Structure 1
Amino acid sequence: MAHRLFFIITFIGVPISIIGSMMHWNEILLFTVFCITIIALAGIMGRATESLAIVAGPRIGGLLNATFGNAVELIIAIIALQNGLVEVVLASLTGSVIGNLLLVGGLSFFVGGLKFKRQSFNVYDARHNSGLLIFAVVLAFVVPAIFAVKMTKSETMTLSVGVSIILMVLYLAALYFKLVTHRGVYVTKETEDVAEHEEAEWGKWKAIIILALATIAVGYVSEKLVHTFTTVGDKFGWSELFIGIIIVAIVGNAAEHASAIVMAYKNRVGIAVEIAVGSSLQIAMFVAPVLVICSLFMGSRMPLIFSTPELVAMVTSVFLTIAIMNDGDTNWFEGLTLLGAYVIMGIGFYLL
């Protein structure tokens, strides 16, 4: 049912986006249309990727999910970089990390907890992800910001590239670890049951064609969306930081967020945790490094240096999430705690 709605919105939204851009409609209206269209396209891309993952098998499927999981946000960020909006891109990365951990994790735990008093998931997987979160966010993001104080711009960029390469190598190693050498350790009964009964929604070639067309459409609509940021920011009093952290992050991940919440409601909270934490790790260890490398070939270079409020938000989000999920079970109150933290941060970034 959901994918039909995504297709309907896409078939309406993409033509309206093209016509509205050509006829120079009101930018606030266009901003709304672009956001809704991108959310629908993200949902379609997610469905296509899932179908390809099922057809290709668990190992290749895991790699496909890792590669295309945040494709929409990566496309938006690359286009924003091309337009010199480095602060928006860094803010969107921050927003994705805290949004996945606090908003998605919080809503999943809260919604699932209202139906089930206690929900459990793989504690070993949670602890494994906790270590990666501390490495990727606390170490790889905080250390460059500290060293950059005593460095030139050139040295800061060199450090950022070095950190980015290490993050990508470790991310690929983590995929190999979970999908190949230690796959049995991190497969729960819940995951096995889901995998056994899963059937591909679309055939291989249909999924590839849909994924390709959706990616092209996302690229076009994202480019138009980026050009509305200045007008929207001036109209509503939103800073580039707020647009990146709240708006871009939510739009780019909305379809995936909804999937996590539905899984928790169905008592598959392990999958919801994997979506929330896995997406944060993918942003920190893959998307951010790729953007740093891509910026080397653009007019605006993007060092991996976040502002102090961004770093504080990400670090506190990581430690709060670890404290809540490291025991392997959760409830609605823990979800509400995560949501409360997200709202506090959202207010702070709005007023900053």
Structure 2
Amino acid sequence: MGIKKIISFALLVFVPISIAAHFLEWSALTIFITSALAILPLAIWLSTATEEIAVVTGPSIGALLNAVFGNATELIIALVILKEGLVDIVKASLTGTIISNLLLVMGLSMFLGGIRYKEQEFQPVVARVNASSMTLAAIAICLPAAVISTSNLVEPATIRNFSIAVAVVLMVVYILTLVFSLRTHSYLYDVAVVEVGDGEQGSEATSKGTLPEETSHKPNLGLWIAVLLASTTVVAVESELLVGALEEATAGLGLSPLFTGVILLPLVGGAAEYVTAVTVAVKNKMDLSVSVAMGSSLLIALFVAPLLVLVGQAIGQPMDLDFDPFQVVAVGIAVVVANLVTVDGRSNWLEGTLLLATYTILGLAFYYHPV
């Protein structure tokens, strides 16, 4: 049994523990920690179910499932936080997820893969396409803040309308990236179809938007649909528990809402991507590892963030794309560093170390950032 399965089974014990902690009115810190640990295996099962269903349904429906459920855990947590009116934490979690995928996930993958293999290769064309899309997303995140900082007075309604218009553009771009990767230039992404299981026959995974073309096993479609629905439902329940205890628990730990959103929440929601990316990198499959890391960041920037802007308007919790200037700087740094490291289509353990060092420095900066 692989590490991913061991983690996904072992940590499920925290689901009933966290629910019991809520009803027995244990401390907010206990509820926060147990619900966070409960979300980790659920994120892995949700991701696995999506991959298995994609094997049966084929590329078209599978691509849609990847688009909807690829970062479902992060989306559910963000929606629950948004519903509570904690818009600043939602924004922090979005920027934190982008930063952690580009620096932490890719850094760990390159470092651990580079220790086992002297040098690893991946498709530079795919990396350049992802880099271009990420640059657009970074610009979209920067612009509202730039508008405000360069204007004497900007009405909230103006920023809100501007954010809605940008959100629509970003979602259109994301749809076009799916068309590019699945239709017009799908041959560029064929290399991302690899085995990622630890010896399990026919176990496969996909990057965001890339799907397996052939498999040696036929998953039980009904079973995996049930797993998908059950995982999504329980993630929503655990997210409610997590968010309910969030402010009190983090205040007790002496952590600011900014640090919580940028560092802690992405670590909880992105467990599935972290395990998948690192696992395939150690197997010398850096194509898929880079695609998972950068593809997840693209999904957050081009789909999840715009979707939250539109949902926020619908539920009466207005959210815009006016991110904190320091978050904007951090995203810009992450995008630039990730683009520089991936541009040549090669990686080694030192480049992984540089990415991890950049993430650590940014994490320290957010920790010491004045509240």
> Taking structure 2 as the reference length, what is the TM-score of the superposition?
0.91
Q: CA deviation at 1:28?
A: 1.2
Q: Does 1:6 align with 2:23?
A: no
User: In 1, are the aligned partners of 2:74 and 2:270 still within 8 Å (CA)?
Assistant: yes
Give SS of 2:314's match: coil
Of residues 144-153 and 93-102 in structure 1, the stretch that sits farther from structure 2 once superposed is: 144-153
RMSD: 1.6
Partner of 2:87: 86
Which segments of 5 or more consecutive residues in structure 2 lack a partner in the other structure?
196-203, 205-211
Residue 143 (structure 2) pairs with residue 126 (structure 1)? no
Matches within 5 A, 1:227-246: 227-246=244-263
Preserved contact between residue 84 and residue 299 of structure 1 (Cα < 8 Å): no
Residue aligned with 1:228, SS: helix
- SS of residue in 1 equivalent to 2:318: coil
Aligned to 2:188, which of 177, 182, 185? 185
Match of 1:67 in 2: 68
SS of alignment partner, residue 24 of structure 1: coil
Displacement after TM superposition at 1:200 (Å): 5.4
Question: Which string of whole-angstrom CA distances, capped at 9 and with x for unpartnered residues, describes residues 57-92 of structure 1?
Answer: 123223322221110110010110111111110000
8 Å contact from structure 1 (residues 124, 186) kept in 2: no
Deviation digits for residues 290-323 of structure 1, max 9, x if unmatched?
1000100233211111111100000011011111
Provide the rounded CA distance (Å) in 1 between the counterparts of 2:243 and 2:107: 29
Task: Quickly say closer, same or farther: Cα 1:3–1:201, change in 2 above 3 A.
Answer: farther
* Equivalent residues, number: 349
Instruction: Write the distance in 1 (CA, Å) between the matches of 2:49 and 2:216.
Output: 13
Q: Which residue of 2 aligns with 1:143?
A: 143
**Cα distance between partner residues in 2 of 1:141 and 1:64:** 26
Contact 1:53 1:62 (C-alpha < 8 Å) held by counterparts: yes
Q: Indicate the residue corresponding to 1:162 in structure 2.
A: 165
Alpha-carbon separation, structure 2, partners of 1:8 and 1:336? 30
Give secondary structure in 2 for the equivalent of 1:320.
Answer: helix
Q: CA deviation at 1:196?
A: 5.9
CA distance in 1, matches of 2:128, 2:87: 33
Q: Following superposition of structure 1 onto structure 2, how do residues 196-345 of structure 1 map, counting pairs within 5 Å?
A: 198-199=215-216, 202-345=219-362
- Superposed CA deviations along residues 198-236 of structure 1, whole A, max 9, x for unmatched, are 345741111111110111100011001001111122111
When normalised by structure 1's length, the TM-score is: 0.95
Give 1:5 shift: 4.1
Give a deviation string over 1:89-109, Cα, whole Å, max 9, x none.
000001100000000000000
What CA distance in whole angstroms lies between the structure 2 residues aligned with 1:135 and 1:121?
Answer: 22
How far, CA to CA, are the matches of 1:198 and 1:4 in structure 2? 23
**What CA distance in whole angstroms lies between the structure 1 residues aligned with 2:9 and 2:269?**
17
Identity of aligned residues (%): 39
Q: Displacement of 1:19 after TM fit?
A: 1.5
SS class of match (1:306): coil
| CA–CA separation in structure 1 for the residues paired with 2:33 and 2:218 | 30
CA distance in 1, matches of 2:31, 2:161: 39
Does structure 1 conserve the Cα–Cα contact (< 8 Å) formed by 2:58 and 2:213? no
Q: For residue 187 of structure 1, give the secondary structure of its aligned residue in structure 2.
A: helix
Q: Deviations over 1:312-344 (max 9, x none)?
A: 000011011111101001100000000000000
1:21 maps to what in 2? 22
Q: Greater helix share, 1 or 2?
A: 1
Match of 2:155 in 1: 152
Does residue 348 in structure 1 map to residue 349 in structure 2? no
- 8 Å Cα contact 2:53-2:224 kept in structure 1: yes
Question: What are the within-5 Å matches in structure 2 for residues 31-110 of structure 1?
Answer: 31-110=32-111
Shift of 1:182: 1.4
Q: Which amino acid aligns with 2:23?
A: M
* Range with greater deviation from structure 2 (157-166 or 174-183): 174-183
Give the partner amino acid of 1:42: A
Distance 1:324 1:275 in 2: 16
Cα distance in 2, alignment partners of residues 118 and 91 from structure 1: 34
- Compute the displacement of 1:197 (Å): 6.1
Between the aligned partners of 1:232 and 1:30, the Cα distance in structure 2 is 8
Residues 163-190 of structure 1, C-alpha deviation per residue, up to 9 Å, x if partnerless?
A: 00000011001101110111123322x6
Q: 1:217-271, CA deviations, whole angstroms, 9 ceiling, x for partnerless residues? A: 0001100100111112211111111000011011000121011001000000110
